[in-house]
Amino acid sequence: MLANTKDTGDVKEKDDVHKAPPDIKTLVGEKPDLDPANYTMSDSQYSYERTIPDANLPTEFVQGVLDIANEGSGLLRPTYAQSNNDIYISSSQIRRFNLRVGDLIGGQARQPKENERYWGLLKVEKVNGIAVDELNDRPDFDSMTAIYPDKRINLTTGAEPLTTRVIDLVSPIGFGQRGLIVSPPKAGKTWLLKDMIAGIGKNYPEKVLTEAEISKANKKEFDKKDDPNGSNDTLEERGVHLMGVLIGERPEEVTDIKRVMNEITGGLGEVAASNFDESPEAQTRVGELALDRARRLVEIGANVVILLDSITRMARAYNLALPTSGRTLSGGFDPVALFPAKKFFGAARKIEKGGSLTIIGTCLVDTGSRMDDLIYEEFKGTGNMELHLDRKLADRRVFPAINVTRSGTRQEELLYGKETLQKIYTLRRMLEMVSEDERTETLLERLKKSESNEDFLKNLTTG
């Protein structure tokens, strides 16, 4: 639809556009139309709307995630990454509707004219799925109050797979969790991520927010329901928006994750991906835009889960993309590159009387690289949940290769009821009585004999 594009018209390129392809700052500049007959005053903020010249041109409905330049104009990215399918949006429309980076914008657009490169958005019709005339004032993500996760995400979908059942027992995930999956190479982290997608997608299928729910979210009038079992009717009714953010991945794995995501979520889930053969600037920009998209959804009360693969590759990309600070840590890592990666990971939070942003990121260890070990050491204290995969278990073909002793969640008492929590403590004590090499295998063997975690815990002390 949008593949045939031409060179600059309404969009003015700078000389260094090809040096940093994903950076919108080098791509967009608004070319003014000096004919006053083509514009009318649209609101009290002195923004202008084009009305006459394109009125009779054929249009098509398009949508994309908004990326704004310093000049004020922007591009809608249909696939998060820069492409020929991007749609130009003027600064006047951005100001008029108070649009933010990461908003999903939909509207009518026209094809490029002669000497133009991008399609042009003529009219904004929807913002994050909401009609523009229904938009209310949105809170700012950074001003919202963060609290400990207190509602558990149930990953278990039945007797199988055992992966999600083990996670629910030894390292529970709550809405708003900031979790690390610490994995050596070839330990099964990709399979683990796919099982998590399946568990979340089936138990919390996403539902489109109504106008009333959006208004309620903006006014911060959500009712907080205390449930000792860790469930929440409001969360379950609204569902979860699933996002996969893949940085520096192999193309075949990107395809695999996209297909799983589409199958489980019915096309409602999103995957923002950048392959390992793309520039560091492209990789970091995809991650930033995906995070902004998630933040915009949380601002309107949604519950978003981001599965990030991987934090290590994201930090490596920032190490190459950012200007050097003149300081170098172990493995040739610049400490400045840690801050944007930590900003991404630190965005995870449960909002008081609102939505939540859950980020589960993988972190690579035992790769033989000092840089990777440094990145893990810097991030291991920032999360409130860790799931450790064990290479020795994977070599013995014990899957899921989860080290049940090292895995755990901070403040897990907020995610379990009192009775369940005591049974979890009993399970931990029993596993301590087994040799370290056999703990995971012992747990898996016992889980196979039960249909659910509830049955397993109920019969924990009986044969």
Question: Is the CA virtual torsion 131, 240, 256, 409 positive or negative?
Answer: positive
- Chain mean pLDDT for the chain: 83
> Which tens digit of pLDDT belongs to each residue from 143-159?
999 999 999 999 999 89
Q: What is the pLDDT of residue 10?
A: 43
Least confident window among 85-94, 162-171, 324-333, 376-385: 324-333
Return the structure tokens found at 108: 């009518």
Q: Which residue has the tokens 């923002």?
A: 272
pLDDT for position 409: 95
Helices (H), 279-383: 280-299, 311-321, 338-346, 370-379
Q: Is 248 annotated as a binding residue?
A: no
CA-to-CA separations, 430 to 110, 400, 438, in angstroms, rounded: 66, 20, 12
Q: Which of 224-238, 274-288, 319-333 has the highest mean pLDDT?
A: 274-288
Residue 119 assigned as binding residue? no
C-alpha torsion sign, points 109, 111, 115, 118: positive
177 is in an annotated binding site: yes
* Residue 227 in this model has a pLDDT that exceeds 80: no
Q: How do residues 379-390 score in pLDDT, each as one tens digit?
A: 988 899 999 999
CB 401 within 8 A of CB 440: yes
Quote the pLDDT of residue 1.
Answer: 42
Distance, in Å, from the CA atom of 254 to the CA atom of 252, rounded to the nearest integer, reads 5
- Nearest-CA neighbor of 283 among 328, 340, 333, 324? 340
Average pLDDT value for residue range 41-65: 57
pLDDT of residue 286: 94
Which structure tokens are listed for 74?
């922007």
Residue 330 CB neighbour total at 10 angstroms: 10
Q: Is 178 annotated as a binding residue?
A: yes
Identify each DSSP E strand in 43-118 by its residue range.
48-50, 59-68, 74-77, 87-89, 104-110
**What is the helix (H) or strand (E) element at residue 423, kind and residue range?**
helix 418-432
Residue pair 181/360 in contact by the 8 Å Cβ criterion? yes
Q: Phi first, then psi: give them for residue 150, nearest 5 degrees.
A: -130, 5
pLDDT at 225 over 70: no
Residue 175 known to bind ligand = yes
Give every CB contact of residue 69 below 8 A, 6+ residues apart in sequence: 24, 25, 27, 28, 29
Does the domain made of 146-207+236-459 have the CATH classification 3.40.50.300? yes
pLDDT of residue 463: 52
| Cα(134)–Cα(216) distance, integer angstroms | 12
Place of tokens 């995501």: 261
Task: Enumerate the CATH 2.40.50.140 domain ranges in the chain, comma separated.
Answer: 59-134
Asked if pLDDT for residue 336 goes beyond 80, the answer is: yes
CATH 3.40.50.300 boundaries in the chain: 146-207+236-459
**What tens digit of pLDDT does each residue of 5-44 get?**
444 444 444 344 334 444 444 444 444 443 433 433 333 3
Q: Is the pLDDT of residue 56 over 80?
A: no
> Which superfamily is assigned to 59-134 in CATH?
Nucleic acid-binding proteins (2.40.50.140)
CB-based contacts of 91: which residues, under 8 Å, 6+ apart? 30, 47, 71, 72, 73, 74
Find out whether 187 is annotated in a ligand binding site. Answer: yes
C-beta separation of 89 from 121 below 8 A: yes
Choose among 342, 378, 303: nearest CA to 149.
Answer: 303
